[in-house]
Chains A and B, each alone.
Chain A
Amino acid sequence: MIKLIIDGVEVEVPPEYTLLQACEQAGAEIPRFCFHERLSIAGNCRMCLVELKGSPKPVASCAWGVRDCRPGPNGEAPVVNTKTPMVRKAREGVMEFLLINHPLDCPICDQGGECDLQDQAMAYGVDSTRFQENKRAVEDKYLGALVKTSMNRCIQCTRCVRFATEVAGVAELGATGRGEDMEITSYLEQALSSELQGNVVDLCPVGALTSKPYAFAARPWELNKTESIDVMDAVGSAIRVDTRGREVMRILPRINEAVNEEWISDKTRHVVDGLRTQRLDEPYVRENGRLRPASWSEAFAAIAAKVKGTSPGRIGAIAGDLAAVEEMFALKELLARLGSKNIDARQDGAMLDPANGRASYIFNPTIAGIEEADGLMIIGANPRKEAPVLNARIRKRWRTGNLKIGLIGEKADLTYDYAYLGAGPETLATFADHAPAKLERQIWLIGQGMLARPDGAALLALAAKAAFSVGAIQDGWNGFGVLHTAASRVGALDIGFVPGAGGLTAAEMASAGKLDVVFLLGADEIDIAPGAFSVYIGTHGDRGAHRADVILPGAAYPEKSGIYVNTEGRVQMAARAAFPPGDAREDWAILRALSDVLGHKLPYDSLGMLRQVLFQAYPHLMRVDQIEAGNPADIERLAGRAGSSGAPTKAPFLSPVEDFYLTNPIARASAVMAECSALAERAAASATAAE
């Protein structure tokens, strides 16, 4: 520990601290533009100048280590001042320089109201400039569908360049030219290819990089901010939903060190316009082959008429990827009351079974635990497409060195180097009786590409056995991690939303002639064969609604409060930020009302009552933001079954996410996502043409 005197306050800080960190610990506020906690230090904006006694000039505190501070002549602790006239003058000078070329277009700038430069100019600047020349003009750059540029405003902090290179892992942004002519651009203005590019908008301390879809849409002070949870992938990133009136205007990340740090994927951020289009806002009933708008009572009557004449064994329910735990619980209870065991949430046919224990289907090492790992085996997954934020965490760990990464499955650019071991089950089988690896903390990342296939159960057991034999599961470290792609999946498995004894799986329910009535709770990734009477409870006119015989309009994720359990088994609660459109209702309420019409009334009249029942049955769901740890013995049991549940086929593992931007009905309704998808496709096509 090093002792410092900052503004007369004595503090002790670790020797690896920078002066800026030390000053913050002492309670001093240091303005900054280029410095960012999660990026490398650039030291080029000079806004963080402080006075260091003994130094003839002010020093840039972000780039000055406390161990480089010289002690006084008699060995006194180094003295740092952050409030002296010298520091004030230095800051005013820096601010004057920064504003020399910064346009005064705050009234038309989207960053206005949440601009670091604006705020700091108010706090640390002066109200005039001595600069008489013209301001420079910089051409705006094209960076793709999501990032809008206004390069006159750029102050060359290079945060975006460092983010793209370090965190996103695509070295596509750079600073060309020098001095006054320095410009931020991508190579020949090609669109950025990262799934995390939206974050550069948050990082930009000025209005040079702003969100293209959100351009000129709203001012920050008009928005209501609701802290919530993302459902676009199974990571469960912490988000803030900004609404104006009934409309969701934008989605921003919140800091959650355990999950997403402060990044979110582009799908999470820019799916917003998908919440407005293709929405189901009133019930529909199919008559003579055509869907016609109906009232709720008409729709319920149509369902009741159909259900009454159907034997329980021919009724089923499939839950989709975006469903919250509450509504799945209500649906499960309703089906139980109807006497059916045909429930399933695994639209993709993933061979995960809650009967194997919680450890067999959650990401046991936890996302933050990736940073402690020294080995990573990726099996049948493309984390970059399935969970970009988790992939950024892997890359962060990889950049610090000493992380061995192996991949079994599809080759892909994951933004880090890995050893490609093989394509499918045969490679995995070679690890089943493998000598323990010389690694302390391995993670075996099991993707849905390995599980969502008929031999998935055998492969899961095989993977468990392999993880055991190489030593990924030890005392105090459970490296067996299943990476999910659906936000609802772990919650569904937690509440046992899987077929009961003798019940039908999702694939069986979807096939012809098995069911007479099927309830689809936002299940759009599965095709129901003709024949069954399909009741679709959901938000968007997507596959499920096109096939449906009765449509009951539900609430999308920002329009309801709900519990989601992320891939690591973390229980998180999403908050309601807006209201569902038109006659649409929250899904649990629809199920509750429907149950009454069907003569099997569910015993809760409010979400609170529902949760009470839910928590009684599954107490761990009550512990929000916590993980109910899996028991490693579950995996050991699973490993013991390897070989007994049939031999796996030799088909190679394929990633379940073909198009990152179009994985769910909300994303498919979004024009922005469609544009991103087209851009990515074009980039991929030109890359293959160049090869």
Chain B
Amino acid sequence: MSVRRLAPDDVQPKAFAFTAENVAWANQQIAKYPEGRQASAVILLLWKAQEQAGGWLPQKAIELVAEMLGMPRIRVLEVATFYTMFNLAPVGKYYVQLCGTTPCVLRGAEDLKTVCQKRIGEQGHVTADGNFSWLEVECLGACVNAPMVQINYDFYEDLTPESLNKVLDEMAAGRVPPPGPQNGRQLSAPLGGLTSLNSPGLYDSRPSNAGAALSDADAKKPGAAANVTESPIPKPPVADASDPRQK
């Protein structure tokens, strides 16, 4: 983290106004809070402003939100500078947030950083075509698929320098590759197929089957292994694990 300041004047737009649609949405959000507590909607409005402005918060947007909520400007600036997910300077069309926390680093996030540095440039720098910018962020909560990046709203996981390059290539070409693990994994299932719980009988729910998982009727014994759970019976892996949207 570093000191957060508004972007310099030469990149600040001269004016900012919500679209009619966003104004209606904002009024709806403001109305959720009791009279005199309109300031509670500040994060919602700032977020909407950031979305509308292309991923960052111009100074005029901060002032507009302050005016809409009847807040002193400094109070809105405090919020905007406190939360690092509010970008105070322009970002690329594809905004890469690269996780640099321990699990990802152990799995090769440093190499991904090199890729970003080579392809995009320094952190916070927007490429000349306006397509890319990147930022190292703290844990995004996908450690089991480390290393990973978030690009706009999607997670791209299990990356290698090659697969990240591929993702970025696709984006540069104007196509959005499917998010999720980029190494053929299904979600966070094991890469080479199941290594445990792989007896076919497990997936047979008939009660006569020997070696079945515990059912609700079975009392759990004291001292039983921690990996014995009462979760629903898992589905077997699908044939094509690369598409997470396949159910």
Contacts and interface: CB of A to CB of B under 8 A. Distances in A.
Contact of A177 (B3, B73, B74): B3
A172 B59 CA distance: 16
Interface in B1-32: 1-4, 6
A188 B3 contact: no
Given A177-B3, A179-B1, A187 B73 contact: yes
Contacts of B72: 171-172, 174, 187
Interface in A151-187: 171-181, 183, 185-187
B2 A187 contact: no
A176 B1 contact: no
Interface in B42-85: 59, 72-75, 77-78, 81-82
Contacts of B2: 181
Contacts of B74: 171-174, 176, 185-187
Interface in A118-143: 138-139
Interface of B: 1-4, 6, 59, 72-75, 77-78, 81-82
Contacts of B6: 188
A187 B77 contact: yes
User: Which of B2, B3, B72, B74 has most A Cβ within 10 Å?
Assistant: B74
Contacts of A139: 3
Contacts of B4: 176-177, 181
A172 to B, nearest CB: 6
B17 to A, nearest CB: 16
A181 B2 CA distance: 6
A406 to B, nearest CB: 21
Contacts of A171: 72, 74-75
Contacts of A138: 3
Contacts of B81: 176-178
B78 A183 contact: no
Contacts of A179: 1
User: Which of B2, B59, B75, B78 has most A Cβ within 10 Å?
Assistant: B78
A176 B75 contact: no
A187 B63 CA distance: 10
B3 A174 contact: no
Given A139-B3, A171-B72, A177-B81, 16 more contacts: A172-B72, A172-B74, A173-B74, A174-B74, A174-B75, A174-B77, A176-B4, A176-B78, A176-B81, A178-B81, A178-B82, A181-B1, A181-B4, A186-B74, A187-B72, A188-B6
List of 6 A-B pairs having minimum Cβ-Cβ separation, nearest first: A171-B72, A174-B74, A176-B81, A187-B74, A187-B73, A174-B78
Nearest to B6: A188
A172 B66 CA distance: 13
29 contacts: A138-B3, A139-B3, A171-B72, A171-B74, A171-B75, A172-B72, A172-B74, A173-B74, A174-B72, A174-B75, A174-B77, A176-B4, A176-B74, A176-B77, A176-B78, A177-B3, A177-B81, A178-B1, A178-B81, A179-B1, A180-B1, A181-B1, A181-B3, A181-B4, A183-B3, A185-B74, A186-B74, A187-B72, A187-B74
Contacts of A185: 74
Contacts of A176: 4, 74, 77-78, 81-82
B152 to A, nearest CB: 24
Contacts of A174: 72, 74-75, 77-78
Given A187-B73, A188-B6, A175 B78 contact: yes
Nearest to A181: B3
A181 B81 CA distance: 10
Nearest to A186: B74
Contacts of A186: 74
A401 to B, nearest CB: 12
Interface string A264-288: 0000000000000000000000000
A177 B75 contact: no
Contacts of A181: 1-4
A187 B77 CA distance: 7
A176 B2 CA distance: 12
A156 to B, nearest CB: 13
A185 to B, nearest CB: 8
A174 B6 CA distance: 15
A185 B5 CA distance: 11
Nearest to A175: B78
A175 B81 CA distance: 9
B142 to A, nearest CB: 24
Contacts of A187: 72-74, 77
Nearest to A138: B3
Nearest to A173: B74
A161 to B, nearest CB: 9
A442 to B, nearest CB: 25
Interface in A55-106: none
Nearest to B66: A187
B77 to A, nearest CB: 6
A181 B4 CA distance: 8
Contacts of B82: 176-178
Contacts of A175: 78
Nearest to B3: A181
A154 to B, nearest CB: 13
A494 to B, nearest CB: 43
A150 B67 CA distance: 31
A186 B78 CA distance: 10
A187 B4 CA distance: 13
B87 to A, nearest CB: 14
A198 to B, nearest CB: 19
A316 B81 CA distance: 64
B63 to A, nearest CB: 9
User: Which of B4, B6, B72 has most A Cβ within 10 Å?
Assistant: B72
Nearest to B62: A187
Contacts of B78: 174-176
Contacts of A177: 3-4, 81-82
Nearest to A179: B1
Nearest to A139: B3
Nearest to B4: A177
B12 to A, nearest CB: 11
B239 to A, nearest CB: 48
A364 to B, nearest CB: 34
B219 to A, nearest CB: 37
Nearest to B84: A178
Interface in A6-41: none
A188 to B, nearest CB: 7
A186 B82 CA distance: 15
A685 B124 CA distance: 37
A139 B59 CA distance: 20
A163 to B, nearest CB: 14
A183 B82 CA distance: 11
